[in-house]
Structure 1
Amino acid sequence: MTATIEYIPETGSTNADLLARLAGGELVPEGHWLVTDRQTAGRGRQGRSWIDAPGNFMGSTVVRLHERDPSAATLSFLAALAVYETVVPRVAAPQSIMLKWPNDVLMAGSKFCGLLLEMGHGAVIVGIGVNLAAAPEIAGRRTDALKGLSRNAFAEALAAQFALELQRWREFGAEPIMRRWQAAAHKPGTPLTVHGSDGDAISGLFDGLDATGALRLRLPDGTAQVIHAGDVMLEEG
């Protein structure tokens, strides 16, 4: 699969654009990326907006699902790994880059990347935003920007890495992807607090992932709880 990148000056949402193309019957090939200079209606997980800035990366690509593909849900981990592998050799402190469940990428504990996967018309649209030049302020969250990386060069490197990870995902299954994700993420025993969409919070120790990619949390009473959705905050200290 050869990656191709289509650059546009402005749009509402690259995810929405690709979904609309598929809905209209356009045969957008796998490996095609839509990258924009400005995004006026970018979206994040759980309906949040994704704030852009000049020089940042904002783009989406299409994964066409095949009958024998691993679970589409594991593409979230694949996408985070693709960003991780693209960033690590390009920053001065690679040890500061870490993955956080379910699909955040952090630098020294600060978020610089957001991912949003949406399914439709037999495909998954993978949207990725990376703070390359500037980090928007988000209430209650630490954010940062990588800085010093060219947007177009980063786009080319990410597209190539994503294609490689997708090939591995299809050839070897999701299990190696999940193992690599866990090796690059917060370590077992890390104190976490998970905030659910209902506003409730639960705290415990990270106990890895289950086969579906759900978070296992070891509670203070020694029992384990499996969490399928929520916002994870790493405890300080």
Structure 2
Amino acid sequence: MENCLPPPGLALLGFLVLLPMTMPWGQLGEDGWLWGTHCVACLAPPAGSVLYHLFMCHRGGSPVYTRLLALDMCGVCLINTLGALPIIHCTLACRPWLRPAALLGYTLLSGATGCWGLPAPAPRAPHCGYSARLRAFGWQAGARLLVCGARGAGLGSGAPGSLRCYLRMDALALLGGLVNVARLPERWGPGRFDYWGNSHQIMHLLSVGSILQLHAGVVPDLLWAARHTCLPD
């Protein structure tokens, strides 16, 4: 079933075309490095998933498979880490004393959770690795929601409409994870969704939608940050 999944490969090709076409390269400003982190964040999950699905039938057995799964999760960790940096940067654009600390703090948090959640689970206890990854990504999601909450409460800044994109991004990612864990709809009809319409494919489609929402929010956010002048305190 896994080898018949087209979404990761199609998503990777789509983003390789979409990102260069929709990025305002001539308006990068002094924060151009954030465009690079955003591109890596959008490409990392489909790239990791493509490698995982491409080599998962390797005859190396469980050790190879679990390491491929860790590589797949590395893509998720990268979008959680790098994808949030522009959000934090723009939300705290008018708080220059707090912004570097928040960016550094989130990076350190992501590094710690990555070291905690990415190692491959032991073959006899894979559930331990899965739960560790969920906890690790949960810490990152909590930090992002805190930043979005600050923006929604008027304590942060950013382009109008971007906050809604970020909330939809996390909602789609959460929904995809829940569908994949719940094994829906194949739980209701065993054998009927072995090739198409299964939970794994739905999760991939929702993940693509989540990345698109991130892109839809970050582009206007960074353009806003490049043009906005903060009022003196």
> Given the two structures, how large is their TM-score scaled by the length of structure 2?
0.30
More strand as a share of residues: 1
Computing the radius of gyration from Cα coordinates, the structure with the larger value is 2
Bigger RCO of structures 1 and 2 (CA < 8 A, at least 6 apart): 2
> Given the two structures, how large is their TM-score scaled by the length of structure 1?
0.29
More helix as a share of residues: 2
